[in-house]
Amino acid sequence: MEWYRFDKQKLKKSIEEVIEAAIIRELGEGHKLKICIGCDSQVKGSVVDFATVVLILREKKGGFMYYKMHRKTTKMTIKERMIKEVSIAVDTAFQLCPVLDKYPVALEVHADINSDPSFKSNVALKEAMGYILGMGYIFKAKPDAYASSYCADRIVH
């Protein structure tokens, strides 16, 4: 799967190389950084499209993101789909850890799961939280999970 910039330009280097270069550049400019990783999906019949986002935030100075898309042809329950989104985000965080461990950058994994029990996605909240926290990452759910519920949502819809 290929990674893209928000302006839909395909990355010419690996996501690890691009993220490391961005961290070096942004830290060199004196920015305090936080990286948020999230995934969202959209069901279209028996096809599920997933968008994964790596969001680089500069404290009080905005941010930028990279994304990738992939498609799965299968029927999934809402709980299965929510856990799949979390799994993709955790895999991406794990892939980037060798780079992120070199720099003073906070990392959060965002789940597109509502913390309000009246929403369907809430059925996967405990499992998602356990999975993300168990992997050693900071967990955020809606309404604080903007990498998944806002950024990735814009890509997949």
* Nearest of 148, 92, 155 to residue 121 by alpha carbon: 148
Buried b (16+ CB within 10 A) or exposed e, 24-45: eebeeeebebebbbbbbbeeee
Give the pLDDT confidence score for residue 157 in this predicted structure.
86
Helices 78-100 and 15-28, axial angle in degrees (round to 10): 60
Cβ atoms of residues 156 and 114 within 8 Å? no
Give the pLDDT confidence score for residue 94 in this predicted structure.
97
Single pTM value for the model:
0.95
Question: What domains are defined for the chain?
Answer: 3-156 (3.30.420)
Give the pLDDT confidence score for residue 5 in this predicted structure.
97
Give the pLDDT confidence score for residue 128 in this predicted structure.
97
Interatomic CA distance for residues 96 and 109, integer angstroms = 12
pLDDT in tens, the chain (157 residues): 799 999 999 999 999 999 999 999 999 999 999 999 999 999 999 999 999 999 999 999 999 999 999 999 999 999 999 999 999 999 999 999 999 999 999 999 999 999 999 999 999 999 999 999 999 999 999 999 999 999 999 999 8
Give the pLDDT confidence score for residue 147 in this predicted structure.
97
Interatomic CA distance for residues 103 and 144, integer angstroms = 24
